[in-house]
């Protein structure tokens, strides 16, 4: 059982007056209105009902708390145990804002002072600070004589503030531990965290069920804190809708991407199937915007309509410039490229939506740890991303994390296993993993896990458990470490591992891996597709026609009946894709034209040199002259092998200045050999997976 400060006070009065207390006495003692009294009693009754206790209102005696002797004693112990929640100034103001935003009627200063165990003067002072914060979100604080205070403004802005407060004041371990306890049957479970209790547990249950269970595959790469933010926002919306506060329109005219809207529709669809809540279009759009700033692991496939060729080029350019200035070649690190691409895509959406990441003191420490890298990255971000000059400090820190993780990456042979529970996101986890690899070579296997995954982990598999946050009530031995893995922590871990290495353990010897029929067939298919692509590859001279469309049609005419059917349909699809986003490679004279559709029968890549240049736009949106046309085609239902091999070619085009020079000026033999080496590397990599 959990009771708020005011509920504690009310119960204490009822327990001390077992003969009954009249409503007027309760109102005067607690300094609350009649409506507030009724609401508090109703809330208490919901909590004590499962314990077979209730509050009755007798005409001659007033309100009485009744139940079995053991039950009343349990409630008394709970009230005595639940001393008033003591807030510091910041948390008290957050709690005050939340209470005001959720209030269904005017709040009285004296009542608020009693709720937060401070003087009315302190509440007045807090309200002055609160009023400034509310005004930034388009909300206002109205003071009414003889009635109290009330917040007025849009429902959308209320939710934005509330979800940010609840999210910021609950850590990941506490949040996911609470989620593991909520269920559909017990609607009265309470959290020991003041802020979590603003949302009924039933709405947390439905929100987490829709997000974690129904859409788990889509959220598998999302960090714990972003997952917490999405679930909190959705649960709060369900709570507000249930109380009749529906959104009918949204203030933002910004549209969301089709893939995000589809994801929102699927999650809301699951909510509709389990509840009676009516979902307006404005509600779905609001939730879609909450999903926009999440770092999904997006497939990097140039054939997808939502593939951002411009951002891909900008990320490559950022990596190139940082490599030159740091005198460290980051360009060979594919993981860095894809992680940055994913992060920046989400970061721009957060900036556009004016949704900030929660403040994190650790990030400031990371910037201090890598001052030179930070300075170089910050300067190049401003140079490359001219449309997003005002990068948030936290966004900069996360980008530094990705580069720092690449700097630290240095695999070493080890002998023991460690589980690392990390709540700060994938980038910080990678720095930690890299530093363990580098400075504690005794560890053979490192597994990074999110706090939300703890219930699915077999902890017995690991020699050592490390965590970046304190885990209250976690029963197994573990060590709390900084995500930067400080020198003294490295020393302590090494000392602990010495003891573990001296323990007698049964050593199991693995036999040589067996090659199965499936393994052979997989390699054979990859080699077959690679050979077919290389056989079709060529560099040909083409006479430039009056338009780009007609030039493409001449090229496709030679492929009709072999690689594709209906060259005009394929031409139109290629042109449409080109018009959707510029594809010219900046500072060169070539572009990669591509399309995946059901008119294409075989995967294809070739190069065509034009007799006369054609004006097009580059990825940097600047005009350029096209003299060499790279053409990549794929069937709509291409196999995984075809996708990977073609993806290897497309990714290599802007991987480095050397590659761009090769694709612009290289002859057929040189580029053939280069593509062959890419395919060999890809096939070897797939064998190791």
Give per-residue pLDDT as tens, 326-347. Answer: 888 787 777 788 788 877 877 7
> For residue 186, what pLDDT band results from cuts at 50, 70 and 90?
low
Question: For residue 64, what are the β-bridge partners?
Answer: 56
Domain at 416-502, CATH from 3.40.50.2300, 1.20.1090.10, 3.20.20.70, 3.40.50.920: 3.40.50.2300
Chain mean pLDDT for the chain: 81
Class (C level, CATH) for 5-81: mainly alpha
Per-residue pLDDT reduced to its tens digit, 270-329:
888 888 888 888 999 889 888 876 655 444 555 544 456 677 778 888 998 998 898 887
Q: What is the pLDDT of residue 607?
A: 96
Write down the domain spans for the chain. 5-81, 89-153, 159-292, 309-408, 416-502, 517-688
Per-residue pLDDT reduced to its tens digit, 614-649:
999 988 888 999 999 999 999 988 888 888 899 889
pLDDT over 70 (residue 219) = no
pTM of the model: 0.49
Across the range 379-398, mean pLDDT stands at 74
Sign (positive/negative) of CA torsion 199, 203, 205, 209?
negative
Strands laid side by side in the 464-467 sheet: 443-449, 416-421, 464-467, 479-480
The tokens of 454 are what?
A: 């703890």
Per-residue pLDDT reduced to its tens digit, 166-180:
887 887 888 888 888
Q: What is the pLDDT of residue 548?
A: 93
Question: Phi and psi for 494 in degrees, rounded to 5?
Answer: -60, -40
3 state SS for 400-420: HHHHHHHHHCCCCCCCEEEEE
Architecture label for domain 89-153: Orthogonal Bundle (1.10)
Per-residue pLDDT reduced to its tens digit, 94-104:
889 888 998 88
Could you tell me if 385 and 314 are in contact, meaning their C-beta atoms sit under 8 angstroms apart? yes
- Comparing 197-206, 463-472, 509-518, 673-682, the range with the smallest average pLDDT is 509-518
Q: What is the pLDDT of residue 554?
A: 94
Q: How far is CA 660 from CA 140, 591, 624, 628, in A?
A: 56, 10, 15, 12
Per-residue pLDDT reduced to its tens digit, 447-499:
888 888 888 898 988 889 998 888 887 888 899 888 788 888 888 888 787 65
Q: How many Å apart are CA 291 and CA 651, to the nearest integer?
A: 27
Measured over all CA atoms, what is the biggest interatomic distance in the chain, rounded to whole angstroms? Answer: 103
Question: Which residue is associated with the tokens 């970061």?
Answer: 347
What is the topology classification, in CATH, of domain 517-688?
Mannitol-specific EII; Chain A (3.40.930)
Using DSSP, state whether 529 is helix, strand or coil: helix
The tokens of 473 are what?
A: 């009530």
> For residue 502, what pLDDT band results from cuts at 50, 70 and 90?
very low
Per-residue pLDDT reduced to its tens digit, 246-258:
988 766 556 677 7
Q: What is the pLDDT of residue 351?
A: 57
pLDDT over 80 (residue 136) = no
Across the range 492-520, mean pLDDT stands at 54
Q: What is the pLDDT of residue 664?
A: 92
Which distant-in-sequence residues (6+ apart) come within 8 Å of 166 by Cβ? 98, 195, 196, 198, 199, 232, 236
Percentage of residues in the chain having pLDDT higher than 70: 84
CA atoms within 13 A on the CB side of 611: 9
Per-residue pLDDT reduced to its tens digit, 227-240:
888 899 999 999 99
Beta strands (DSSP E) in 193-278 are: none
pLDDT over 70 (residue 75) = yes
Percentage of residues in the chain having pLDDT higher than 90: 19
- Comparing 63-72, 395-404, 434-443, 500-509, the range with the smallest average pLDDT is 500-509
Per-residue pLDDT reduced to its tens digit, 577-619:
888 878 899 889 999 999 988 999 999 999 999 999 999 998 8
Specify the DSSP element, H or E, that contains 427: helix 426-439
pLDDT over 90 (residue 658) = no
pLDDT over 60 (residue 38) = yes
Nearest CA-CA partner of 339 in 402, 408, 432, 411: 402
Q: How many Å apart are CA 620 and CA 383, to the nearest integer?
A: 12
Could you tell me if 646 and 658 are in contact, meaning their C-beta atoms sit under 8 angstroms apart? no
Asked if the domains at 5-81 and 89-153 fall in one CATH topology, the answer is yes
Q: What is the pLDDT of residue 519?
A: 60
The tokens of 251 are what?
A: 């203030």
Q: How many Å apart are CA 161 and CA 588, to the nearest integer?
A: 48
Class (C level, CATH) for 309-408: mainly alpha
Question: Phi and psi for 584 in degrees, rounded to 5?
Answer: -70, 140
Which distant-in-sequence residues (6+ apart) come within 8 Å of 14 by Cβ? 21, 55, 63, 64, 65
The tokens of 280 are what?
A: 């307006």
- Comparing 340-344, 392-396, 675-679, the range with the smallest average pLDDT is 392-396
pLDDT over 80 (residue 13) = yes
Q: What is the pLDDT of residue 240?
A: 93
Per-residue pLDDT reduced to its tens digit, 361-381:
566 777 888 889 999 998 998
């Amino acid at each position: 059982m959990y009771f708020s400060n005011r509920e504690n006070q009310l119960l204490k009065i009822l327990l001390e007056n077992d003969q009954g207390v009249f409503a007027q006495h309760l109102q005067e003692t607690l300094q609350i209105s009649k409506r507030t009294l009724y609401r508090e009693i109703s809330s208490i009754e919901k909590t004590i009902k499962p314990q077979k206790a209730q509050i009755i209102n007798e005409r001659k005696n007033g309100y009485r708390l009744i139940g079995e002797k053991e039950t009343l004693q349990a409630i008394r112990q709970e009230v005595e145990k639940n001393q008033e929640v003591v807030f510091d100034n910041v948390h008290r103001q957050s709690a005050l804002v939340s209470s005001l935003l959720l209030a269904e009627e005017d709040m009285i200063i004296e009542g608020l002072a009693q709720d937060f165990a401070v003087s009315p003067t302190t509440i007045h002072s807090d309200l002055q600070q609160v009023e400034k914060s509310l005004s930034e979100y388009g909300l206002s604080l109205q003071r009414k004589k003889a009635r109290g205070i009330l917040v007025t403004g849009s429902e959308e802005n209320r939710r934005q503030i509330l979800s940010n407060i609840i999210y910021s004041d609950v850590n990941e371990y506490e949040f996911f531990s609470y989620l593991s306890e909520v269920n559909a049957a017990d609607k009265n479970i309470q959290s020991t965290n003041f802020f979590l209790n603003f949302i009924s547990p039933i709405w947390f249950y439905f929100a987490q069920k829709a997000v974690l269970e129904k859409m788990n595959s889509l959220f598998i790469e999302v960090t714990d804190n972003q997952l917490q933010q999405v679930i909190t926002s959705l649960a709060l919306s369900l709570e507000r809708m249930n109380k009749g506060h529906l959104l009918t329109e949204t203030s933002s005219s910004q549209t969301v991407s089709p893939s995000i809207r589809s994801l929102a529709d699927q999650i809301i669809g699951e909510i509709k199937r389990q509840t009676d809540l009516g979902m307006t279009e404005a509600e779905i759009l609001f939730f879609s915007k909450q999903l926009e700033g999440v770092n999904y692991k997006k497939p990097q496939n140039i054939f997808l309509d939502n593939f951002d060729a411009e951002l891909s080029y900008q990320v490559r350019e950022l990596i190139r410039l940082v490599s030159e200035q740091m005198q460290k070649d980051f360009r060979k690190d594919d993981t860095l490229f894809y992680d940055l691409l994913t992060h920046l895509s989400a970061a721009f959406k957060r900036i556009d939506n004016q949704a900030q990441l929660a403040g994190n003191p650790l990030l400031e420490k990371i910037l201090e740890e890598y001052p030179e890298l930070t300075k170089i990255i910050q300067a190049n971000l401003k140079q490359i991303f001219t449309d997003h000059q005002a990068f948030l400090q936290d966004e900069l820190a996360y980008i530094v994390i990705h580069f720092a993780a690449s700097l630290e990456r240095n695999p070493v042979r080890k002998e023991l296993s460690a589980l690392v529970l990390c709540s700060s996101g994938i980038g910080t986890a990678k720095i930690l993993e890299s530093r363990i690899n580098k400075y504690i070579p005794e560890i053979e296997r490192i597994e990074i896990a999110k706090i939300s995954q703890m219930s699915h982990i077999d902890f017995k598999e690991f020699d050592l458990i490390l965590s970046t946050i304190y885990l209250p009530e976690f029963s197994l031995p573990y060590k709390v470490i900084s995500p930067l893995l400080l020198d003294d922590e490295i020393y302590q871990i090494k000392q602990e591992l010495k003891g573990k290495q001296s323990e007698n353990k049964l050593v199991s010897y693995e036999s040589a891996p067996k090659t199965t029929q499936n393994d052979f067939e997989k390699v054979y298919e990859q080699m077959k597709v690679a050979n077919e692509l290389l056989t079709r590859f060529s560099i040909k001279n083409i006479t430039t026609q009056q338009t780009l469309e007609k030039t493409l049609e001449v090229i496709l005419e030679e492929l009709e009946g072999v690689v594709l059917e209906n060259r005009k349909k394929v031409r139109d699809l290629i042109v449409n894709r080109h018009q959707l986003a510029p594809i010219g490679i900046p500072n060169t004279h070539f572009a990669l034209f591509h399309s995946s559709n059901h008119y294409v029968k075989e995967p294809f890549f070739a190069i065509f040199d034009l007799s006369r240049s054609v004006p097009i736009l580059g990825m940097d949106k600047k005009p350029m002259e096209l003299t060499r046309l790279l053409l990549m085609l794929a069937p709509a239902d291409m196999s995984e092998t075809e996708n990977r091999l073609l993806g290897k070619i497309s990714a290599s085009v802007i991987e480095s200045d050397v590659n761009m020079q090769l694709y612009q000026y290289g002859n057929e033999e040189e580029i053939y050999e280069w593509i062959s080496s890419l395919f060999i590397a890809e096939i070897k990599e797939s064998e190791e997976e």
